Chain A
Amino acid sequence: MKGFPNLLRQALLSLVLVFSAVSLSFGQDGSDPAKGKQLFNQNCAACHALNRKMTGPALANVETRLAEDEGLDREWLYAWIKNSAGVISSGDDYANRIYNEYNKAAMTAFPTLSNEDIDNILAYTSAPPPAPVTPAATTAVGATSAEGNGANSDLVLAVLSFVLLVLVAMLVLVNRTLRQIAVANGIQVEKEKVQRLPLWKAFAQNQFLVFVSVIILLLSSAYFAYAYMMQIGIDQGYAPVQPIHYSHKIHAGDNKIECTYCHSSARVSKHSGIPSLNVCMNCHKSIYEYTGNPEGPSAEDLANGYTNEFYTGEIKKLYKAVGWDEENQRYTGESYPVEWVRIHNLPDFVYFNHSQHYSVAGVECQTCHGPVEEMEVMYQYAPLTMGWCINCHRETNVKLTSNPYYEKIHEELSKKYGVDELTAAQMGGLECGKCHY
């Protein structure tokens, strides 16, 4: 019941915030920061943030800063936003300075924005509407209830073990009093020892029993020896710790990025390459922190230490490796290779081609790699043994649609085998030389 006053306080706080938001939401000159935020996110946010440099400068309080530092008014901003290239070529001093400062990255012209739109955007940059407070409240409540659950189960365990201890103590006491009573009454409690043949001698004398148990022993040890030897060289479940904690769950699961976005060479080559860091930077130039799911981190993630701060820290590791200077938004040129640990590794005597399976046969990545979009830590899903390969070749039909390459051979082979659809095995997928040469 400790949570209740907390909840009340939060509700009060959010009420206060909502009121202040309402009173703030209309700027001095009737412009609307909420509309401005919408326009900002649609048009400006690719290159500008409020409080940090991106491709373009930070824009919080841009109007007052320009007025105070450079003596530029709103008219200048109108002209700049609608056609920055024009202002630069007109020889405007500040325009040329800022253009050169940002590596001559030209700002797109926005002739479609009206003066009123720009007023709204400027109102947003000078007084952003406060962030909604409700998610924070719900996560706080969620956290307390989760904590409550943990405390409850701990308490139950403690009570149970205490009861068990008391029971044990009671049994010992009862036993002792009974013995004392027996001694007082003069009853002999100890039994006399009978001289019998020891069990193992009796066992050794029975030849049939010895024979049977030897056979059982041999069979079971053969079974365990076989099971043990068959798993040598198989890395199913191998999940090494990587130098940068990359979550496939967040990228491929939550954000639904296609596998071949990063592993692009799987489409066209033998290898499904490890993406070079510039591929990471395609998005992480803009995404500099992890803000998490809208629902907030799950209890399981928190237990593993996967907080928003943790993920943001991993993004910073990427910046360090690729040599990205966040402060000045440019590459320093000082980079070092990230030593990813390879998980799926076929022996050197096997040939495997990714493009043949992904592009030609149209096999889903998940068929061999498992539910990658649910893996927080990547692991080897399939055993990658020869038996596993062969099994799939026996069961999978060759994909012939929209592939005229196979038409003729399919016609002949399907007649030979008397089937409608050929499996990969019937196309020669079991021949040794196809993979071992």
Chain B
Amino acid sequence: MKSVLSKITLIALALTAVSCFDKSKPNFQYFPNMYESVGYETYGEAPILPENTAALLPAEGTVPRGWLPYRFDNTLEGKELARVDKNPLLVENRDSDLAKGKELYNVYCAICHGIKGDGQGTLVKREKILGVPTYADVARNITVGSTYHTIYYGLNSMGSYAAQLSSEEEIWQISAYVMELKKDLTK
């Protein structure tokens, strides 16, 4: 009788232990000091840092890798000056640059501006965001330099995309690809 009873309790215990994983809390760990970092983790809490978070803005005056300070201001005058800025990418790499630009464009821009650049992205078609212009718009008359300026700073309802792109090179690749789309649209 005793053995049967103990067997049942053991099975019941094991079952409750296995089935009781609370989905809203992480499971417990063997030797957590081997699992958890001694240093502050990315995005983790960091009591010695401002706002108690390890995710901070870069220190003022520093330049991130892949970037140099942009020489045009975030003003209309700056945009007009940027209009004549030339694409510094090498002509020899044009094909690979455009391929990379297309890949990035389809991730970051096409959702509103459309795969073809006609302003008919998924969000526009679903009427979430309206009034996205086509690249062929005569009044805007975009150039590679003004496209770079717009991606870097944003314009009116469009936000800056500099944070999502990892280098100047990537913005130039996208800008060059946008010019290709404009060429196809105005053909």
Contacts and interface: CB of A to CB of B under 8 A. Distances in A.
Interface of A: 41-48, 54-55, 104-106, 108-112, 200, 213-214, 217, 220-221, 224-225, 227-228, 231-235, 237-241, 254-258, 260-261, 264-265, 267-269, 271, 273-274, 276, 278-279, 281-283, 285-287, 291, 336-337, 340, 342, 345, 347-349, 379
A256 B139 contact: no
Contacts of A287: 128-129
Given A55-B157, A106-B76, 10 more contacts: A41-B130, A104-B76, A231-B18, A233-B30, A235-B26, A238-B23, A239-B24, A264-B166, A279-B159, A286-B157
A110 B139 contact: yes
A283 B23 contact: no
A108 B108 CA distance: 23
A337 B163 contact: no
Contacts of B129: 46, 283, 286-287
Contacts of B23: 237-239, 379
10 contacts: A46-B131, A106-B76, A112-B137, A255-B126, A255-B128, A256-B111, A267-B166, A282-B159, A348-B35, A379-B23
A285 B122 CA distance: 17
Given A228-B14, A232-B28, A274 B43 contact: yes
A257 B111 contact: yes
A293 B139 CA distance: 34
A225 B23 CA distance: 21
B30 to A, nearest CB: 6
Contacts of A108: 133, 139-140, 156
Interface stretch (B3-11, B87-95, B179-187): B3-11
Contacts of B84: none
Contact of B157 (A46, A260, A342): A46
A46 B132 contact: yes
A264 B24 contact: no
Given A225-B14, A233-B27, A286-B157, A278 B34 contact: no
A364 to B, nearest CB: 14
B60 interface: no
Interface string B33-45: 0111110001100
Interface string B157-185: 11111011110000000000000000000
B25 interface: yes
Interface of B: 1, 3, 7, 10-11, 14-15, 17-18, 21, 23-30, 34-38, 42-43, 51-53, 55, 75-76, 106-108, 111, 119, 122-123, 126-133, 137-140, 156-161, 163-166
Contacts of B139: 108-112
Given A108-B139, A221-B14, A46 B28 contact: no
A337 B17 CA distance: 36
B164 A45 contact: no
Contacts of B42: 271, 273
Contacts of A261: 107-108, 111, 164
Given A42-B131, A46-B131, A213-B3, A240 B163 contact: no
A237 B23 CA distance: 6
B13 to A, nearest CB: 8
Nearest to B44: A342
A233 B35 contact: yes
A48 B157 CA distance: 10
Given A105-B156, A231-B27, A282-B158, A44 B131 contact: yes
A-B pairs with the 6 shortest C-beta distances?
A46-B131, A45-B130, A224-B14, A45-B131, A264-B164, A282-B159
Nearest to B25: A240
- By secondary structure, the B interface counts as loop
B14 to A, nearest CB: 3
Nearest to A48: B131
B159 A55 contact: no
Contacts of B127: 41, 291
B27 A46 contact: no
Nearest to B160: A278
A227 B37 contact: no
A46 B164 contact: no
Contacts of B17: 228
Q: Of A104, A233, A271, which is in contact with the most chain B CB atoms at under 10 Å from its CB?
A: A233
B55 A278 contact: no
B157 A348 contact: no
A279 to B, nearest CB: 6
B131 A47 contact: yes
Contacts of B28: 232-233
B107 A46 contact: no
B107 A260 contact: yes
B27 A234 contact: yes
Contacts of A235: 26-27
A240 B159 CA distance: 30
Contacts of A200: 1
B47 to A, nearest CB: 14
Contacts of A254: 126
Nearest to B166: A268
A384 to B, nearest CB: 11
Q: Of B3, B107, B130, B160, which is in contact with the most chain A CB atoms at under 10 Å from its CB?
A: B130
B164 A279 contact: yes
A403 to B, nearest CB: 13
B159 A281 contact: yes
A278 B139 CA distance: 28
A283 B23 CA distance: 31
A347 B35 contact: yes
A337 B45 CA distance: 11
A233 B29 contact: yes
